[in-house]
Amino acid sequence: MEGAGGRAEERAPLLGAAAARRPAFEGRRLACAAVLLTELLERAAFYGVTANLVLFLNGQPFGWEGAQASQALLLFMGLTYLVSPFGGWLADARLGRARAILLSLALYLVGMLAFPMLAAPATRAALCGAPRPTRGLNCSVPTCADAPARYCAPAALGALAVVGLGVGAVKANITPFGADQVKDRGPEATRRFFNWFYWSINLGAIISLGGIAYIQQNVSFVSGYIVPAVCIGVSFLLFLCGQSVFITKPPDGSAFTDVVKILAYSCRPQKRMGERDHSGEGSGVFQQPSKHSLFDSCKMSRGGPYTEDKVDDVRALVKIVPVFLALIPYWTVYFQMQTTYVLQSLHLRIPEISRITATAHTFPAAWLTMFDAVLILLLIPLKDKLVDPILRRHGLLPSSLKRIAVGMFFVMCSAFAAGILESKRLDLVKEKTINQTIGKVVYFAADLPVWWQLPQYVLIGISEIFASIAGLEFAYAAAPKSMQSAVMGLFFFFSGVGSFVGSGLLALVSVTAIGWMSNHTDFGNINGCHLNYYFFLLAAIQGATLLLFLVVSVRFERQRARAHGTLTAASRRA
């Protein structure tokens, strides 16, 4: 049976020669399929929350202003990423990945059940009291009154917080847990798993953006929120039933506590100097004592209180962090796809959908982000089955760091394309605007088809295939074994930092002294702004970071090659 075989494999050497020669997913198809389907359903639920949250809170009976609704979405997105390191630590040190994922999905489900209750009038009244009178005005006009208190804010923000905690913990653990199912098959199996894992993420996004978002905008939010709640319920049951076929590992401790202690110990100059003298007399095996003494002084072999493995784990983490830091501008541009790119699309001419009911159905603004997901669905199988095998046969398959650099280049081009389009749009609105209603809100748009946004979505989709997938692969492969979930959590944590950096930049360019985003009269109209300058700024920052990243990645790969050469020479001598 697959389950029994999985547990036997768990006690076998992870990269034995016989296992490495076996097909990547042989005997593990059920386990991998369960993980991928769980992630697909979880992503469908996640995008079911984020796709139209601003529209939900901006409409009746909530009546939140656009800025208030956008703030709620930013807080939710930030929480989902920032909580990831804690979710990883909880799995590594206390619960194990399988139990951490199950508990996170259960918490996720509790939060998701609140959204249909907030959308239904009867349960909403029980949770929030009687709704206050709401205004039907579009706050893009200068006559808007001051925004009243947000109706149902404690319940809505509480539900978002609970879902955010669940999302963050699942995000940190399900990726390394899935890779654990094929880890003993070698790095090629891990690389292929990450390709299909990311494919599942984007299929879930398409299902959500294509179906759930349409239901929310054109049918009802009650039905539109029941569907993602059901998705999470099915995801929980599926993962629960998969316990019999999963390769599970007990918690073996997290290195985070040791990281702090080792860093503090290594920064004590008087201790380090004393041990440097001792090590110079007693050992000649370290070829570069001046370079490695910072951490070597902590090792028991050098008189320190920590084992060799723990110190090496900290050293590995320190080498990973600069790569994560260099990815922050990438994530800053990437999250524009769900924020300023959508804001730009609302001010372009969006086509109408044929009427299939007595009420007109409008083209959901959230559908625009599907172009990115569709592109990934099409290109990942092509990359996995055709491009990568050809490159591998010729010894040309690039490393994960090189693929990240390529992704950075494409995301820079996406921001630049968005800036060019926005410049053109601003020229057109000076001559003529058209009024279009999206979700009962009127937007004053340029008479330019929204399809002109396709290049920036295509470019950002291509960047994901390179940078995001390779980033996941790098984080898992380079992580110390005792903190793989935590390092994956750090990967997502820095993604959230990138989102907040974008928000901070947007706030910075809105100050009066700069004025790029402070000329508008309202909470939605961008025709008096210079969003194009913001896009060009993002492109410039990403370009500069790309050059820095090339330097960092070259140094990292040289260090890794040197370390691998040292280990190979030592094994030959042994």
pLDDT digits 0-9 by tens, 181-209? 988 888 888 888 888 898 899 899 888 98
pLDDT string in tens for the chain (574-residue length): 333 333 333 433 333 444 445 566 666 889 999 999 999 999 999 999 988 887 788 767 787 765 567 667 777 887 888 888 888 888 888 888 999 999 999 999 999 999 999 999 999 988 888 766 544 444 444 444 444 567 888 999 999 999 999 999 998 899 889 988 988 888 888 888 888 898 899 899 888 988 898 888 778 889 999 999 999 999 999 999 999 999 888 887 766 667 777 777 777 664 444 444 444 444 433 344 444 456 667 777 666 777 777 777 777 777 788 888 889 999 989 888 877 787 788 788 888 776 555 566 667 766 777 777 777 778 878 887 888 888 888 777 788 888 999 999 999 999 999 999 999 999 999 888 888 776 666 778 888 988 899 899 889 988 988 888 888 788 777 777 766 666 776 787 888 888 778 777 877 877 777 777 665 444 456 787 888 998 999 999 999 999 988 887 887 777 766 765 655 555 555 5
Angle between helices 269-282 and 289-296 (to 10 degrees): 120
Residue 141 is predicted with a pLDDT of 41
Which residue's structure tokens are 């074994």?
481
Angle between helices 308-326 and 289-296 (to 10 degrees): 110
Residue 336 is predicted with a pLDDT of 83
Q: Which of 177, 173, 185, 193 lies closest to 9, judged by CA?
A: 185
Q: Locate 26 and state its tokens.
A: 């042989």
The DSSP letter of residue 442 is E
Phi/psi at 38 (nearest 5 deg)?
-60, -45
Which amino acid, residue 204? G
Kindly report, residue by residue over 8-38, the tens digit of the pLDDT.
334 333 334 444 455 666 668 899 999 999 9
Which amino acid, residue 349? R
Does residue 543 sit in helix, strand or coil? helix
417: CB partners within 8 A, 6+ apart: 455, 456, 459
Q: Locate 430 and state its tokens.
A: 């000076």
Q: State which H helix or E strand residue 438 sits in.
A: strand 434-438
- Predicted TM-score (pTM) of the model is 0.73
Which residue's structure tokens are 């009024």?
435
Residues facing 546 on adjacent strands? none
Distance in angstroms (rounded) separating the CA atoms of residues 436 and 420 = 23
Measure the CA angle with vertex 351, ends 349 and 355; round to 5°: 145
